[in-house]
Amino acid sequence: MAAVSGVDRRTLVRQPSVLPGFGLTFGFTTFFLSALVLLPLAALVFMAASMSWGEFVHVVLSARALGSYRLSFGASFLAATINLVFGFVIAWTLVRYRFPGRKIVDALIDMPFALPTAVSGIALTTVFAQNGWIGQYLSLLGIRVAYTWIGVTVALTLIGMPFMVRTLQPAIAEVQRDLEDAAETLGAGRLYVFRRIVLPAVLPAMLTGFTLAFARAVGEYGSVIFIAGNIPKKTEITPLLIVIHLQEFDYKGAAALGSVMLVMSFVVLLTINLIHSWGRRRLVATAH
């Protein structure tokens, strides 16, 4: 960063690249990723590998572990999907309309970023517990939120929402209203305009937002443990199971579960990224 700010503006224009040469930057990138991401992850896998195959399978394929995977990934996926729809609506409203209090609503979006996740968890539990403000009415309808998978999804939705909204806002702002006007004068109805004009334009951002929200939800711990109730096999998420292993000083078991999460998350994120780049190649060849 110091290199960037130190360089005179005129030389920035003259030189093809802002930062010093490729060798240096690439070296830094490799070092940074290795020290902070790859090495610790390798250590994790390494520790898990010190278990015997039988022990490993016993830990990662236990009924309790399988239940936690299902909840963690299922609820995260569901939460990211919910955010896909409602995050879009919120982002659209904030970009396209001017209403009193818009700035405040816009600032509220970032609250889940800033709050310690435990605080969100406690707050959500207060509201959704069976005697809570909303929970008491839902329980009349026979819906229990707190201490069920629904509660987990609610918590993960809250945590992921700002990622979706913040990613979508600039993309929606990019969609010129002229495009919609043009489509309308050409005879397209609103739904058609949305499907054929707006959606293709914001789809890459939606995928990115989905990825971020999903990744955040998989790793979430603090807010979930308060509202989930942590009933083994039912409302116990994988991160919690790992903590439980740690508390029993079963570091290897924790590492084994961690490795599984690592692999699964990597596969999911890679898939989404592939879809993303495939879509980008198909949709926008704008650079050339």
Partner 1 sequence: MSISLDQVTKRYQGSTVVNDVSIDIGDGEFFVLLGPSGSGKSTLLRAVAGLTGVDHGRISLHGRDVTHLAARRRGVGLVFQNYALFRHMTVADNIEFALRVRRMRAAARRARRNELLRLVALEGLDDRLPAQLSGGQQQRVAVARALAHKPEVLLLDEPFGALDAKIREELRRTIRQVQRELGITTVLVTHDQEEAFALADRIGIMNLGRLLEVGRPDDLYARPATRFVATFLGAANLLLARQSADGLSFGNGPLIVPHHEPSSHGRAHEVVTVLRPEEIELAPARDALRSPYMAEGTVEEILFSGALERLRVRLGDGLAGAHVVRSENLSEEPYLEVTRTQHEQRVFPLAPGLPVALGVRRLHVLPTPLSSFVAWAPTAALAETLAREPLLAELATRMKTRIAIRVEPALAESAPLPEGAVALRDSEAEETDADFSGAAVIRGSNDARAVEWLLARGVDEVLILRAGAAAPRRVLIHWVNESARRATLAVSASLLRHLSAEAVYVGILPEHERADAPRPLGMRALLDARSEAAADHGLDMRTELGYGDVAQELALRLAESPDQLLILGISDAADLGGRFAELLTNPASPLLIVYRRSELQAVPAPLESSSRAASGRLRYA
Binding site for partner 1 (CB under 8 A): 176, 178-179, 181-189, 192, 196-197, 200-201, 283-288
Query: Among all chains, which residue has been given the structure tokens 């989930």?
Result: 228
In angstroms, give the least distance from the CB of 203 to partner 1: 9
Count of other CB atoms within 10 angstroms of residue 172? 19
Q: Which is nearer to partner 1, 14 or 177 (CB)?
A: 177
Q: Which is nearer to partner 1, 33 or 182 (CB)?
A: 182
Residue type, 229: G
Distance CA 229, CA 151 (A): 9
147, 235 Cβ separation under 8 angstroms: yes
In angstroms, give the least distance from the CB of 285 to partner 1: 5
In angstroms, give the least distance from the CB of 271 to partner 1: 22
210, 83 Cβ separation under 8 angstroms: yes
Would you mind telling me the total number of residues written for the chain in this entry?
A: 288
Q: Which is nearer to partner 1, 192 or 266 (CB)?
A: 192
In angstroms, give the least distance from the CB of 249 to partner 1: 55
167, 208 Cβ separation under 8 angstroms: yes
Distance CA 40, CA 243 (A): 17
In angstroms, give the least distance from the CB of 172 to partner 1: 15
